[in-house]
Structure 1
């Protein structure tokens, strides 16, 4: 029986400090060059050399202003501030690669579906089908205020709005233009067949749209759908829409439970367990030998900022942790509109501020796998075997060193074990991930909005289905 092949994404953000905070100050780190094209195109080439499935680009709207009630630590340590638009990076990196996929975070609640559909189709066309969308619904009160709201929308309602947003998007991407609508027939002077392009009419609770999708169909139509919410409502959303789900956690039993719950939810939604690829956030510090890796880790820790990691986590909770003494019990119970899974984990563990600072000694929440290639590969295999995840989102430490080290040391070891590809599969990102073609499968929620070829007498009914 063939061995399970790991999926690997690089986890990054269009900013200086992403997950492991403070390491921007390391002498070999280049993350302050985040606002140059060469920084990103160099990274893309490195990842493609390592046969990474994709670059997963996080994003956030708003600022981390909960810790100490201000943005002082956030600005000093560049805790995801400043942060630039992630979508604008994709075209440049795609021009320097042939296979690397791009999963880009966009909050639908800050967008209009009619306009976002065009941007997504454009990027899917320009990348020849290598584009994916990581769907987040936000949680920061600072973002809500910046967008003109008095406070953040309630947690479950954010997902209700996102559900309807996706319905509109599916109508535009999947249903407005039929397959074969674009003819490019110069002799007949017909670029697109008007009979096969359809107006979308949507009158919903949150969105009202009447119009034709502005872009012709892209290779995947709908980009590959990523999602990161693991709360109860988040899992329902993932079960209906997601193709890949990003989970986090340092406890294998907890991660295994999340994986099982997500797959069971997918089945209840009429899908198959294997329709979800589940990837775990990890950090790896590696080298030619175990001693080299340990020395490198110790070196990184000297530059990391645990307090910046705490400021990041405080915003995730919506709770100012600076008010607590090092060993004082923290009250994680007050309800907020923050990340529910983070609050639940904090309550369960009963963390103190001292424990959190120790946990963030490398600057962030992902525990580090430290060792030579064999040791890191052993750890990755153990996570897969004991939790059922399909692969990993590899967060950065010192850039580009951490990704180069992983490609040079760990990737060959994974290949030697037969658990990582030695060449890319041709085709779109969706086909590379699932091996079943470019488009979403017929049992996905998007399929009901496709315009199917029907007899002329049934055309009126078909048009109504898009309304």
Structure 2
């Protein structure tokens, strides 16, 4: 049976996301990001297109690596101003029935105890359609504004993350038994206290003795997304992730990332099909090939190279303002986004990128391929990428909001449906149900289901 192709919409609660400068396009509506109607309309459009979900990126800092200041980011709206992504979820959930919501939250800067409550609340309010993109952060500016001299070293952030995940897993999966909540008005008992347990967590980074504040939500643990592509990031994803996002400018880069990740998942004792992999991409299409290329040329005229370099500098931790545009990008070991730099240097042996070429490339759709053409041509390319790289679907960025997503929904989705490569209808149930068809809970093989609470006779850590 031919595997279906899946779509997520890659968005951010900001003006300029993955296509720096495109907010200046006369048809772009991203500057309305702070209006509720903007997000409700997008959510309804994506549900019409049977997308798996909307994936909301986020940062807690500013892009201030380029030339050592945030001036370029501010001038060109490079992911600033940026609002909280979690607040969008109830708005969009109320306007839809099936669409999933993946939200990015950097665990490095928020204690796991209140965070667990926030995600359980969203899982209740969405009736089980919430997911969490687990990130450790990559901007020093975020760390400084939260009282740290700089962010933790790359691998140390993942060590903290492992302990963090143990805390939230225990809160979500183990603190409340399935039948703890009785809602018995006759006896006056809402919750049976014998069935609610303190987690007694005493780890290397977190001490959490008490109970979860929320009753069990539909999924208990939100669907777990992750995007780490370094060796440490892959090991983390192999243990925790259910969905992984990869980015790369070529089939070579993406295929290698997929191959390495599938291997890591097996080493971690899980089946390859336990993880869905989405590749970032941008689709530019229309009714005809000529329409698509006209839009492509139009969009290209709005790309801002300085904004792109500001974005690339923030992703990599390398100040590309110090290099001429014709300098070749070389790999440097940084504590920012290692995979972002590697995708333009060591990961693709067939090409040496210059600074200017990389900036021009990410100007439309970030570190991702741009599929331009008629609906038939785009569908051909999507199928070719799935077969060549082994991805399960695509995390679709936009060039012009909401025009890009409208074109995908009204042109590409029908073509893929005609080929039997895209769902015709949603199935019932939670986001995890829709993705894996195995119920609302994490499978028994997941590491979260293997954890156990400390015996009650042991003292709760102080």
TM range (shorter): over 0.9
- Paired position in structure 2 for 1:454: none
Mean Cα displacement is larger for which, 140-149 or 84-93? Answer: 140-149
Which of 439, 442, 464 lines up with 2:441 in the alignment?
Answer: 439
Q: For the Cα contact (< 8 Å) 1:20–1:365, is it kept in 2?
A: no
Counterpart residue number, 1:213: 212
Q: Find the counterpart in structure 2 of residue 268 from structure 1.
A: 267
The more displaced of 224-233 and 2-11 is 2-11
- Judge conservation of contact 1:40–1:89 (CA < 8 Å) in 2: yes
Describe the shift of the 1:466–1:245 C-alpha distance in structure 2 as closer, same or farther (beyond 3 A): farther
How far apart, CA to CA, are the structure 2 residues paired with 1:362 and 1:393? 14
Q: 1: distance between equivalents of 2:166 and 2:359?
A: 42
Size of the alignment, in residue pairs? 457
Aligned residue for 2:427? 425
> Partners of 2:250 and 2:114 in 1: how far apart?
40
Look up the SS of the partner of 1:408 in the other structure: helix
Residues 444 and 330 of structure 1: CA distance in aligned 2, closer, same or farther (over 3 Å): closer
- For 2:338, the equivalent position in structure 1 comes to 340
Deviation at 1:450, TM superposition (A): 6.0
Change (3 A) 1:465 1:304: farther
How big is the shift at 1:360?
Answer: 3.3
Instruction: Measure the CA separation in 2 of the matches of 1:249 and 1:329.
Output: 18
What SS is found at the alignment partner of 2:245? strand
| 1:161–1:206 contact (8 Å) kept in structure 2 | yes
Any gaps of 5 or more consecutive residues in structure 1? Answer: 452-459
Aligned to 1:245: 244
**1:311, CA displacement in angstroms?**
1.1
CA contact (8 A) 2:329 2:344 kept: no
Task: List runs of 5+ in structure 2 lacking aligned partners.
Answer: none
Distance 1:96 1:221 in 2: 23
- Which deviates more, 67-76 or 237-246? 67-76
Partner Cα distance (2:75, 2:225) in 1: 31
What is the CA distance between 1:380 and its match in structure 2? 0.6
Contact 1:130/1:428, CA 8 A, preserved across alignment: yes
Within a 5 Å distance, the mapping from 1:187-202 to structure 2 comes to 187-202=186-201
Distance 1:438 1:106 in 2: 22
Structure 2 residue matching 1:347: 3-state secondary structure? coil
Tell me the residue number matched to 2:414.
412
List aligned pairs for 1:17-416, cutoff 5 A: 17-333=16-332, 335-348=333-346, 349-362=351-364, 364-416=366-418
CA distance in 1, matches of 2:313, 2:197: 47
Q: In the TM superposition, what is the alpha-carbon distance from 1:152 to its structure 2 partner?
A: 1.5
Alpha-carbon offset, residue 292 of structure 1: 0.4
Which residue matches 1:455?
none
Name the CA shift for 1:327/1:422 in 2 (closer, same or farther; >3 Å).
same
TM-fit CA distance, 1:143: 1.1
**SS of residue matched to 2:169:** helix
Please say if residues 305 and 362 of structure 1, whose CA atoms lie closer than 8 Å, have aligned partners that are also in contact. no
Partners of 1:147 and 1:305 lie apart in 2 by: 31
Shift of 1:3: 1.7
Contact 1:66–1:319, Cα closer than 8 Å, also in 2: yes
Q: Aligned partners of 1:464 and 1:393: how far apart in 2?
A: 46
Partner of 1:457: none
**For residues 448 and 411 of structure 2, what CA distance do their matches in structure 1 show?**
41
- Contact kept, 8 Å, 2:130 with 2:431, in 1: the verdict is yes
C-alpha contact 2:253 2:343 (8 A) present in aligned 1 = no
Kept after mapping to 2: 8 A contact 1:51/1:423: yes
Contact 1:134 1:227 (8 Å CA) reproduced: yes
138-147 or 361-370, which deviates more: 361-370
Structure 1 residues 338 and 291: alpha-carbon distance in aligned structure 2, compared to 1, 3 A threshold: same
Shift of the alpha carbon at 1:463?
A: 7.4
| Cα distance change of structure 1 residues 375 and 206 upon mapping to structure 2, 3 Å threshold | same
How far is 1:205 from its partner?
1.0
Counterpart CA distance in 1 for 2:451 and 2:60 is 30
SS state of the match for residue 145, structure 1? helix
SS in 1 for 2:364: coil
1:218-275 deviation per Cα after TM superposition (whole angstroms, max 9, x unaligned):
0000000000001000000001100000001122122112112111111111111100
CA contact (8 A) 1:128 1:219 kept: yes
Alpha carbons of structure 1 residues 381 and 332: separation in structure 2 relative to 1, 3 Å: same
Q: CA RMSD in A?
A: 1.6
Q: Check the 8 A contact 1:170/1:222 in 2, yes or no.
A: yes
